A and B are shown apart, each in its own frame.
Chain A
Amino acid sequence: MEIFSYLSPMFFALTAFGVMVGIVFGAIPGMTATMALAVCLPMTYGLDLTNGLALLLGLYVGGISGGLVPAILLNIPGTPSSITTTFDGYPMTQKGQGERALKTGITASLFGGLFSAAVLFLFAPTLADVAIKFSYIEKFLIILFALTVIASLSQRLLVGLFSGALGIWFALIGTYDISVGGNGEYRLMPEFLTDYLESGFSLLPVLIGMFGLGTILQEAERGVHEESLDSVKYQKGATFSFSIFKGQFVNLTRSGAIGTFVGMLPGVGGSAASVLSYTQAKNFSKDPDKLGTGAPEGVIASESANNGLTGGALIPLLSLGIPGDSTTAVLIGAFTLQGIQLGPLFIGENLDTWNVMMVSLIFANLVMFLVMFFAIRHIAKVVTVPKYLLYPGILMMCVVGAYAINYGVMFDVWTLLIFGVFTWLGQKVGLEVAPFIIGFILGGQAEVYFVKSLESFGTLTIFFTKSPIAVFLWVLIAISVAYSVHHTIRAVKRKKAGNGS
């Protein structure tokens, strides 16, 4: 068992460190797990793959979990996926049950995290075995499916699709790479930038800019106000006991499964998972009116689902090379940095890395639970760490990450600025960040799969007739678009009815 040679004390220490830093990021409103990964990425430059992954997976689990702290104590979701935690968590705090709500959420998070890790372990190799048989045509259709799914969950389908297409456009800047069968010609850029953009914009400076500087600019615009914990009634009412989970096993499992499944859908973010599982908890509840007024059931549904995402989002990443959400998109960058290509061959060719990842994921969930369960009173205080001290430090780390990624290229630092400002402005006009990122990451591959398929077969019909899998993927694409159109029409009707009454 060679895996044991990788599991050094350093490996466990880095996972634990990652979890703790991730919790801090998740707990501070406005800072997300994605930002934690992007900012801490330079720390992995000096580590080997195993230790680098340990740190990043710790950050991922910690970052997703930390979001429940401000959601419960301040009614502000620390990460988008903890939005539904506020529905019942905050009313519990108002009743003086803050600690009870936090510990309920933490325990549900542990369950969701471990459940999704188990699904990942069982399902990813199987999916990879299927995906290995995919030709360029099926691979192109999977990318198309990923983009339509994520766009269909955007506020407006058309804007989501436009954002995804714009992401692809940015990915095409540079040369049509000879190494993938291109002709080596430049496109989509002015001549004076050819020296800098020969290989296009680097992925990580783009991500660091969008999630680091973009967030800071949004905060600066709002005046960088601090949250206050002074008025929180932390613990006056009922105390926590595990009996709170009595009769909640179905809720826990259903929510964990929803989180894992939504996480698996390429490109779909956390808020969709927790909203869906919260709605289901309400539908199946014996006492649905209680949800939203401080019922532990609601906190359990939300937190089990959003930690279920962690394993779920890693499934398409490790078996297809397609990130499940924007946080796993940063992980793709970290793998590339270590010279590892993600895709159907990854697990088979890197069995030790795969096993190490599983150990790290499980260990990260356990550390998250222990740290948060027993030190929650102290962790809750990080919500009040002043932003005027944090943000300059974060920006400094962003610069290091961008500059060092290609061993000292100043243009990458300017890329950070360009995409930070682009995100800040883009969100004002409704740009959807998640489809943009997925488009940007997959755009280059989409081009190769599409053009090479056409060069080989010479007809567009091949995309429909190549194999039963291709037909199945078209059905999935049609369902995701139809769902979105149906959803939009229903929302418009509801709005009209609301205006009319």
Chain B
Amino acid sequence: MEQETGLFSVSIDFSQSHLFFPHIIHWVLFLLALSIVLVHGREIVRHVQGWSESYREHGLDYDRLRLLGTLVLVVAYFLLMNWVGQLFPNTGMGFLLVSIPFMALMSLLYVHDLNRRKLVAILANAIIAPLLAWYVLAQLFFITLP
């Protein structure tokens, strides 16, 4: 096919072709971000002002314990699961042994008005659910677990 020359013609250097589309996307992102600031700028400023006002009056309006607790527990869960998993390779033990305390702790973090009945349910759930998942997935279906 005859190659066109002119304003709309484009030639792509193969050795640099991996950057061609990403460059376009960078420009698109930049132009869209700029347009968002131009069109919704006032709205954003009002939103930030409203937020900082409410922060000065009430502080951060979120359940700090449950949110940060979730993040800490999840990171610890992932790290420990991998570490324990390496102690017992190819058995899924990392998953099983770490999931039990993780589920118990996460349930205790989320529960409101803890009582004996709820505690029993939490402990039973924390033991049965990982055991069941481990047995069905790792033992019956031979799915790789940490």
Chain A residues in the interface with B (C-beta under 8 A): 42-43, 45-46, 156, 158-159, 161-162, 165-166, 168-169, 172, 175-176, 182-188, 213, 216-217, 220-226, 386-389, 391-393, 395-397, 399-400, 403-404, 407-408, 410, 413-414, 417, 421, 446-447, 450-451, 454-461
For B21-53 the 0/1 string (1 means CB < 8 A from A) is 110111011001101100110000000000000
Known: A46-B137, A386-B121. 10 other contacts (CB 8 A): A156-B40, A162-B36, A387-B110, A388-B108, A393-B125, A393-B129, A396-B130, A399-B81, A408-B146, A410-B82
- Determine whether the beta carbon of B22 is less than 8 Å from that of A187: yes
Determine chain A's interface SS by DSSP, over half rule. Answer: helix
- How does the 8 Å CB contact mask read for B68-85 relative to A, with 1 for contact and 0 for none? 011100110110011000
Picked from A159, A213, A389, A450, the residue with its CB within 8 Å of the CB of B121 is A389
Q: Name the residue in B12, B21, B121 with the highest tally of chain A Cβ atoms < 10 Å from its Cβ.
A: B21
Residues in B whose Cβ lies below 8 Å from that of A421: 71
| Across the A-B interface, the 3 shortest Cβ-Cβ residue pairs | A46-B141, A176-B18, A388-B110
Do A222 and B8 have beta carbons less than 8 Å apart?
no
CB distance from B127 to the nearest CB of A (A): 12
The B89-124 residues at the A interface (CB cut-off 8 A) are 95, 99, 102-103, 106-108, 110-112, 118, 121-122
Instruction: Tell me if B18 and A399 are in contact (CB < 8 A).
Output: no
Taking a contact as CB atoms under 8 Å apart, the answer to whether B142 and A410 are in contact is no
A10: shortest Cβ distance to chain B, in Å? 14
**Does B137 contact A42, Cβ atoms closer than 8 Å?**
yes
> Which residues in A have their C-beta under 8 angstroms from that of B55?
none
20 pairs of residues in contact across A and B, judged by CB atoms under 8 Å:
A46-B140, A158-B39, A169-B26, A185-B18, A188-B22, A217-B71, A224-B66, A224-B112, A386-B111, A389-B121, A392-B125, A395-B74, A396-B102, A400-B133, A403-B144, A408-B146, A413-B81, A451-B21, A455-B12, A460-B10
Judge whether B146 and A391 touch: CB under 8 Å: no
Residues of chain B at the chain A interface (Cβ within 8 Å): 1, 3-4, 6, 8-12, 14-15, 17-22, 24-26, 28-29, 32-33, 35-36, 39-40, 62-63, 66-67, 69-71, 74-75, 77-78, 81-82, 95, 99, 102-103, 106-108, 110-112, 118, 121-122, 125-126, 129-130, 133, 137, 140-146
Q: Judge whether B8 and A407 touch: CB under 8 Å.
A: no
CA distance A458 to B112 in the complex (A): 64
Q: Which of B14, B32, B74, B106 sits near A183, CB closer than 8 Å?
A: B14
Q: Are B106 and A399 in contact (CB under 8 A)?
A: no
CA distance A410 to B83 in the complex (A): 11
Query: Would you call A223 and B106 a contact (CB within 8 A)?
Result: no
Contact partners of A161 in chain B: CB under 8 A = 32
Q: For the complex, give the distance between the alpha carbons of A10 and B73 in Å.
A: 38
- Give the Cβ gap from A496 to chain B, nearest Cβ, in Å: 13
A-chain residues with CB within 8 Å of residue B126 when the two chains form the complex: 392
In-complex Cβ contact of A220 among B70, B125, B145 (8 A): B70
Q: Are B99 and A396 in contact (CB under 8 A)?
A: yes
Cβ of A456 to closest chain B Cβ, rounded Å: 7
CA A139 – CA B111 in complex, angstroms? 50
Q: How far is the CA of A169 from the CA of B21 in the complex (A)?
A: 9
* Pick from A172, A176, A400: contact of B137, CB under 8 Å: A400
Q: How far is the CA of A112 from the CA of B102 in the complex (A)?
A: 42
Interface of B is mostly: helix
A403's partner among B28, B129, B145 (CB-CB below 8 A) is: B145
Q: Which residue of A lies closest to B35 (CB)?
A: A158
Closest to B40 in A: A156
In Å, the complex CA distance between A459 and B4 comes to: 6
Residue from B62, B82, B140, B141 whose CB has the most chain A CB atoms within 10 Å: B141
CA distance A101 to B36 in the complex (A): 43
Shortest distance from the beta carbon of A392 to any chain B beta carbon, whole Å = 4
- Nearest residue, chain A, Cβ from B15: A183
* A175, A176, A221, A403: the one within 8 Å of B66 (CB): A221
Which residues of the other chain, B, contact A42 by a CB distance below 8 angstroms? 137, 143
Q: Within the assembled complex, what's the spacing in Å between the Cα atoms of A446 and B9?
A: 20
| Most central of A159, A226, A458, A460 by chain B CB within 10 Å | A458
**Is there an interface contact between B143 and A400, defined as CB atoms closer than 8 Å?**
yes
Question: Whole-angstrom distance between the alpha carbons of A446 and B25 in the complex?
Answer: 11
> Nearest chain-B residue to A454 (Cβ)?
B10
Contacts of B3 in A (CB 8 A): 457-459
Q: How far is the CA of A98 from the CA of B133 in the complex (A)?
A: 36
| Distance to closest chain A CB from B26 (angstroms) | 8
A397 close to B75 (CB less than 8 A): no
Q: Are B36 and A169 in contact (CB under 8 A)?
A: no
B110 CB → nearest A CB, Å: 4
Give CA–CA (A169, B11) in the complex, Å: 22
Name which residue of chain A comes closest to B130, CB basis: A396
Bound together, the chains give a CA A392 to CA B128 distance in angstroms of 12
Contact A213 B74 (CB under 8 A): yes
Min Cβ gap A319→B in Å is 26
Compute how far the CA of A340 lies from the CA of B77 in the bound complex, rounded to whole angstroms. Answer: 34
CA distance A222 to B3 in the complex (A): 59
Name the B residues within 8 Å of A45 (CB-CB): 137, 141, 143
A396 to chain B, nearest CB (A): 5
Task: List A contacts of B19 (CB < 8 A).
Answer: 185, 187
- The answer to whether A226 and B112 touch (CB under 8 A), given A162-B32, A172-B22, is yes
Q: Determine whether the beta carbon of A459 is less than 8 Å from that of B110.
A: no
A244 to B63, CA, bound (A): 45
